[in-house]
Amino acid sequence: MLDSAIALNPAGCGYYRGTRALAAYMLHDDKTAVIDIRQADLQKFPLFHAVAAVIYVDAGMIEGARREAARFNEMRPDFIPNIVAELNTRNFQPQDRARVIADLRTAGLLAMDEAQATMSRPIDGSEALEPR
């Protein structure tokens, strides 16, 4: 569907490429994720800096991951303190939230104590973020 959207609306491809990059990340397709995130509009859509950070972690591009994580934190300092709620509102499944948080930590975005607190905090009062 995203390929069709890009073909039908090339002006919106900066958003669509970022969304495709996130989809590729979720599918563990590092090559496609890196290609697409490099074509995304990271300035117009700050969340894509975080997407780039986790993609680069998975691809072993740690310096790029740290750069993107720092840029995202500059643009959206409110996101990380509320990471569980932010990912929950975007319908991330518990195992996917845990993966994103772990990759953001590797990118240097979360301090260890913040990440531990976030990982163990209940999401809806009944489930924890710990991977199973």
Mind listing the pLDDT tens digit for each residue in 7-52? 666 555 677 789 999 999 999 999 999 999 999 988 889 999 999 9
Q: What is the mean pLDDT of residues 119-124?
A: 48
Between CA 59 and CA 82 the distance in angstroms is 26
Q: How far from chain centre, in Å, is Cα 46?
A: 11
pLDDT band at 6 (very low <50, low <70, confident <90, very high): low
Domains contained in the chain, CATH given: 2-120 (1.25.40)
Q: Which residue has the higher pLDDT, 130 or 104?
A: 104
100 phi and psi angles, rounded to 5 deg: -60, -45
Asked whether 1 and 8 are in contact (CB, 8 A), the reply is no
At 34 the pLDDT is: 97
Look at the block and give the residue holding tokens 């859509």. 45
Between CA 48 and CA 42 the distance in angstroms is 5
Between CA 118 and CA 96 the distance in angstroms is 14
User: And the tokens for 115?
Assistant: 């990440």
Asked whether 26 and 35 are in contact (CB, 8 A), the reply is no
Q: What is the mean pLDDT of residues 116-129?
A: 48
- pTM tops 0.85, yes or no: no
Q: What is the mean pLDDT of residues 50-56?
A: 98
Asked whether 40 and 48 are in contact (CB, 8 A), the reply is yes
Greatest CA separation for the chain: 46
Residues 62-98 pLDDT 10s: 999 999 999 999 999 999 988 988 999 999 999 999 9
Q: What is the mean pLDDT of residues 107-132?
A: 53
